């Protein structure tokens, strides 16, 4: 639900309700009620969240599983999936890292065909 995604965005940005509500132009009380799914946000609030926090609109509005781990869309920062992949990659041996790089290069070459 939207309230859960709003809370997730706020927590990911390490903000309390007052800080977050100031960024999106609603009161702290309104934000609290939104996070509790007491009602849906206005269009203006939705647009503010998507714009201010560079949120993937499909994920935010529909919880689309294909975009679930892509909370940050165009901010230039790594998203949760990318961070997870990097951490897992670093735990591999040099040989395994080389193999993963080869697989990625193969997949990218097929994508461009």
* Interval 13-23: pLDDT, tens: 999 999 999 99
Identify which of 79, 80, 41 has the alpha carbon closest to the alpha carbon of residue 61: 41
Contact assessment for residue 61 and residue 9, using Cβ atoms and an 8 Å cutoff: no
- 19-37 pLDDT, tens per residue? 999 999 999 999 999 999 9
- 42-80 pLDDT, tens per residue? 999 999 999 888 888 888 988 865 444 444 444 556 677
Longest dimension (CA), the chain: 54
């Amino acid at each position: 639900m939207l309230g859960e995604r709003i809370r997730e965005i706020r927590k990911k940005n390490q903000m309390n309700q007052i800080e977050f509500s100031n960024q999106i132009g609603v009161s702290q009380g309104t934000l609290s009620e939104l996070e509790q799914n007491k009602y849906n946000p206005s269009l203006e609030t939705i647009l503010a969240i998507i714009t201010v926090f560079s949120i993937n609109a499909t994920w935010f509005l529909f919880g689309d599983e294909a975009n679930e781990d892509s909370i940050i869309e165009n901010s230039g920062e790594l998203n949760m999936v990318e961070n997870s992949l990097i951490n897992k990659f670093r735990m591999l041996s040099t040989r395994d890292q080389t193999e993963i790089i080869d697989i990625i290069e193969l997949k990218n070459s097929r994508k461009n065909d």
